């Protein structure tokens, strides 16, 4: 019997992931925790917890006999640049606390997301390979590269089953994003419906890899249920969804709302986006555990 704890459950991904896990494992076997309470208390098994407090985390794991952890708590790319030392502290300390749970044999399996932010200016931009130059420029990207290496280290040295995806920018309608560079692709839909116009903080030709949330949730659960003996990637898998620019996204919204208008006022997030890939090569994920993206820009819109 699996008992699952989702850490950072009140955020953008947790809002979609918790119900998807509850559907599979049963409401009584999925626990949510976060430093802040969720906007809608849809899930009874919520525990308020700061994941950087190791003893409190270990107590929860023992009390609820948790066997798997999905660790989503982090400071994201744009917010991280406003307070780099806090971003580093939260992102690294929380991951190491969770990895220590595995080392102490308190849990069997860990999921931890990495990001396309691991890549940098020296990385090939199109069809970015699984194994390539990284050199990220943001504190968020640095913490994700370090996190990938720590996951591989704990797997190799302590035999911990920790699995990871390099998510592209995720787009969902159930919650607002938490301060990333791809947030425009969520905000634009809300503004299109509310006001019929949107001022974009990225330039119109900025191509970035993105993914619709249902595909991201499916990829996450598929990875966690896959046969690990077939994994060739010990750190974090590239997973590709859809690549598009703000101008292209706006043109798809106009098919539904013809009077919709977009204007462009790039801010500091443009500098981050310029260092990231435009599209990803996810052939390792295809071959090792059967990943395939389903949604297109048209079906998502």
Among this protein's residues, is 284 annotated catalytic?
no
- Residue 133: count other Cβ atoms within 10 Å of its Cβ: 12
Least Å from the CB of residue 253 to ligand NAD: 19
Least Å from the CB of residue 238 to ligand NAD: 12
Query: What distance separates the 2 farthest-apart alpha carbons in the chain?
Result: 58
Query: Looking at beta carbons, which residue is closest to ligand NAD?
Result: 11
Least Å from the CB of residue 295 to ligand NAD: 15
Say if CB 211 and CB 177 are below 8 A apart.
no
Least Å from the CB of residue 16 to ligand NAD: 9
Nearer to ligand NAD, 14 or 102 (CB): 14
Q: Distance (Å, rounded) from C-alpha 271 to C-alpha 253?
A: 26
Nearer to ligand NAD, 174 or 197 (CB): 174
- Contact residues: ligand NAD, CB under 6 A: 7-8, 10-14, 34-36, 49-52, 72-74, 76, 90, 113, 115, 167, 169-170, 177-178, 180, 182
Nearer to ligand NAD, 102 or 178 (CB): 178
Under DSSP, the state recorded for 28 is: G
Q: Distance (Å, rounded) from C-alpha 92 to C-alpha 90?
A: 6
Nearer to ligand NAD, 245 or 254 (CB): 245
Q: Write the CB contacts of 9 (distance below 8 Å, at least 6 apart in sequence).
A: 15, 17, 18, 32, 33, 34, 38, 43, 46, 72
Nearer to ligand NAD, 7 or 110 (CB): 7
Q: What residue has token string 């985390």?
A: 57
If DSSP codes are grouped into helix, strand and coil, which group holds residue 30? Answer: strand
Least Å from the CB of residue 138 to ligand NAD: 11
Annotated catalytic residue, options 31, 70, 111, 140: 140
Say if CB 280 and CB 118 are below 8 A apart.
no
Q: Distance (Å, rounded) from C-alpha 216 to C-alpha 116?
A: 14
Please give the positions annotated as active site: 140
């Amino acid at each position: 019997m699996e008992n699952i704890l989702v850490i950072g459950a009140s955020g953008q991904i947790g809002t979609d992931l918790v119900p998807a896990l509850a559907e599979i494992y049963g409401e009584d076997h999925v626990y949510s925790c976060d430093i802040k309470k969720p906007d809608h208390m849809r899930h009874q098994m919520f525990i308020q917890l700061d994941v950087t407090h190791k003893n409190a985390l270990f107590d929860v794991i023992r009390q609820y006999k948790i066997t798997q952890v999905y660790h989503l708590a982090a400071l994201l790319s744009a917010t991280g640049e406003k307070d780099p030392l806090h971003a580093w502290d939260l992102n690294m300390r929380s991951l190491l606390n969770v990895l220590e749970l595995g080392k102490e044999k308190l849990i069997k399996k860990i999921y931890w997301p990495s990001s396309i932010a691991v890549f940098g200016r020296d990385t090939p931009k199109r069809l970015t390979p699984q194994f390539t130059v990284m050199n990220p420029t943001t504190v968020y990207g640095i913490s994700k590269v370090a996190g990938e290496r720590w996951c591989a280290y704990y797997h190799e040295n302590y035999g911990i089953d920790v699995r990871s995806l390099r998510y592209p920018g995720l787009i969902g309608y159930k919650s607002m994003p938490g301060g990333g560079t791809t947030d425009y692709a969520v905000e634009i839909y809300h503004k299109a419906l509310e006001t019929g116009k949107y001022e974009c903080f990225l330039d119109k030709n900025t191509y970035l890899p993105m993914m619709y949330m249902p595909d991201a949730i499916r990829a996450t659960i598929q990875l966690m249920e896959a046969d690990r003996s077939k994994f060739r990637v010990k750190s974090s898998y590239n997973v590709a969804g859809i690549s598009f620019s703000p101008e292209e996204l706006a043109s798809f919204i106009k098919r539904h709302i013809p009077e919709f208008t977009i204007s462009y006022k790039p801010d500091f997030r443009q500098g981050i986006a310029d260092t990231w890939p435009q599209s990803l090569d996810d052939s390792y994920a295809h071959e090792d555990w059967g990943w395939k993206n389903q949604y297109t820009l048209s079906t998502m819109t």
